[in-house]
Amino acid sequence: MSSQQGRVLVTGLTGFTGDHLVAALERAGYEVYGTVRIGEPTGPTRHVAELTDRAALLAVIDAVRPHHVIHLAAVSFVVHDDVEDIYRTNIVGTRNLLSALAVSSVASTLGTVLLVSSANIYGNSDVASLDEDQPPRPANDYAVSKAAMEQMAALWADRLPLTLVRPFNYTGVGQSRQFLIPKIVDAFVRRAPTLELGNLDVYRDFSDVRDVVEVYVRLLPLSPRTTLNVCSEQVHTLREIIEMTSNLAAHALNIRVNSQFVRANEVRVLRGSAARLRNLMPSWQPRPLRDTLAWMLASAPGSTFSHSIPLTVAASLARGDRSL
């Protein structure tokens, strides 16, 4: 495999974000290698290394000799039912990676070590737009694990070229239906009559996964030693997202609120500020959420939609026989 820009080692190569990141890195001229978990397919560019196995991580690093590292591997589902796994993977696993990098054969030549945290660390806040200086107020175990990971990573900042990103919610083709927007899109693709959801009045700053991985790729040559929000700076409630998708799909759903889907300590509003990121890359422009939804509808298995879905006025979601 030829390389114009150098080698990048991606942990969590086979996940949702990894799939899109690999394509973006290759388009940019990078040679991409990655770690996979035991039982996943291997190959010349895919190496088995669990985050809990520091020796395996070090062996992969020394074999690949990357110029950059992007650390995606993590437990990323907020309501993951194995709390110990969240902390073990997100904190101890990241420490294993950083300690292996620090003693590896490429420690002195690394360009960027990009660590992916999460905007969930901000928790609930009265601030209209969250910037990177906002004190963390994590409201669930996942968020606590990411906040602790950031604190731990700071111990390595004098030995490794760390860039830390805090992506807000993002979605796109290939994301599991256990996540909210893919679940909604799937219901519209199937022309389902009803859909059960949790709290409909949470506000989220959603980005397109293609925009997020573009940021990761463009950060590699810049190697900023800082923390950056990755966000669209626009928030939508679930009601708005459902209505937007309904208009695109020309189909109305009967939405039912299921109390079992309402999370304890739900973060009510997450809106980010991307001012620091825009200072680094002024030309970066995130897509509107409607475009992402149209892409997801058109790309879903069995979909009859196209990217040029006409806007059709669907039945009103505020009708008296709907619980939305």
pTM: 0.89
pLDDT at 308 over 50: no
Let me know: does 141 contact 84? Beta carbons within 8 Å: no
Which H, E and C letters describe the chain, residue by residue?
CCCCCCEEEEECCCCHHHHHHHHHHHHCCCEEEEEECCCCCCECCEEECCCCCHHHHHHHHHHHCCCEEEECCCCCCCCCCCHHHHHHHHHHHHHHHHHHHHHCCCCCCCCEEEEECCHHHHCCCCCCCECCCCCCCCCCHHHHHHHHHHHHHHHHCCCCCEEEEEECCEECCCCCCCCHHHHHHHHHHCCCCEEEECCCCCEEECEEHHHHHHHHHHHHHHCCCCEEEECCCCEEEHHHHHHHHHHHHCCCCEEEECHHHCCCCCCCEECECCHHHHHHCCCCCCCCHHHHHHHHHHHCCCCCCCCCCCCCCCCCCCCCCCCC
pLDDT tens digits along 59-101: 999 999 999 999 999 987 655 468 999 999 999 999 999 999 9
- Tokens linked to 106: 């490429």
Q: pLDDT at position 261, please?
A: 66
Each residue's pLDDT tens digit, 21-71: 999 999 999 999 999 999 998 999 999 999 999 999 999 999 999 999 999
pLDDT in the model for residue 293: 97
Query: Is the pLDDT confidence value at 286 over 50?
Result: yes
Which tokens in the block code for residue 295?
Answer: 């892409």
When the pLDDT of each residue in the chain is averaged and rounded to a whole number, the result is: 89
Give the model's pLDDT for residue 123: 87
Domain ranges of the chain: 7-173+208-233+269-286
Instruction: State which CATH number among 3.40.50.720, 3.60.150.10, 3.40.50.1980, 3.40.50.300 fits the domain covering 7-173+208-233+269-286.
Output: 3.40.50.720
